[in-house]
Structures are given as C-alpha cells and as structure tokens.
Structure 1
Amino acid sequence: MMLDKCTEILMRRYDPANPLLEWANQSNSSLLQEPVEVQKTSITLKELLVQVRDEMLTSWGLNPDDRHLFADDIVAYATLQECKEYNVIDMPKGGVA
C-alpha cells in the first residue's frame, strides 16, 4: 500500500509518529536502493530477422514461407527497432543507433 502524496504531507504535519509514515519511508528507500537489472534474451541477427519477418507477415495474413519483396525494407527496419529489446550476439561493428 502506498500513501498518496497529500495524505503523506498531512500525516507528517499532524501525526508524525504514525507508523504508516515509517513504513512508507522504508518502502521508498528500499525501492531506490535496489536497481532492477533486465536480462535481455540473446539472439543472432539472422534469428531475429526471421522471427520479426514471420510475425509481421503472419499478422498481415501472408505466408511467411513465401517470398514477399515489398516487405523486405519494412521487415529490415522493424528488425533494427527490435534489436534494442534483445542482446544481439553477432551485431556488426557500429551496431544500431
């Protein structure tokens, strides 16, 4: 349970010994001290490209096993955007901006 700011201000002013304030202070300090590390899935660029292509073409109602030249640039751009979500293990030098 978190105290809203207005309640917290009023309690600090009129009831500073309230145990809820002590609990709120402990919760806030523990949240600030514990950084959250996000583990990104490792994947090769080729695997990511195939995954993005399959998802996009399927969502468009197309068979991902067929060749769709018009989609190449769109899929490539979407793959570059997805690189931020994964740990691409064979990223060429320069990477994604």
Structure 2
Amino acid sequence: MQIDGVISAIVIGLVIGALGRLALPGRQRIPIWLMLLIGIAAALVGTGIASVFGVADTDGIDWIELALQVALAAGGVSLVSRRREGQRSLPRYPSR
C-alpha cells in the first residue's frame, strides 16, 4: 500500500466513522482514534460486502456501498460505546 492509499484510508475512515456516529441517537463517549479504526474497518468490510453483491463499482456515487459502510460503522460505534459504558459502570472492589 502506498502513502496515498494510507492517507485516503484514514480520511475515508474518519468520514465513515463520523457518519456512523451521527446516525446514532444520544452521545457516544469513544475517543476519536477508536472512531477512526471503526470507520476504516466498516469501510473495508462494507466494500467487501458491496463487491460480493456486485454493487461496489457503479457509475457515479456508490450509494448502496456508502449505506452499507455507514450502517456497519453505526453498529460498531454502538457496540463499542455500550461496551465501554459497561466497563465504567462496574463497581470497583478493592483486592484482598
């Protein structure tokens, strides 16, 4: 992978992660780096799913692929956000 591929993956990951985060109601307390990783993973998996169904390469904007990516990012952000909230709400007991 060349440097322009890495930079474009980061930019696309940020956009997809932010759109996935905006698609969810309420506030998600996850750091930006985690949103970036979720966005990159959602973009890669969404592109793979879209190519399996044959909708990855169309004329113009690939709306179905974009919708898949945003839905996957929203699911990932929701899952990570709930998991991180669950870790914070656990009571802390002193070790014996």
Q: TM-score, normalised by structure 2?
A: 0.31
**Which has the larger strand fraction?**
1
**Which has the larger helix fraction?**
2
Q: TM-score, normalised by structure 1?
A: 0.31
Bigger-Rg structure (1/2): 1
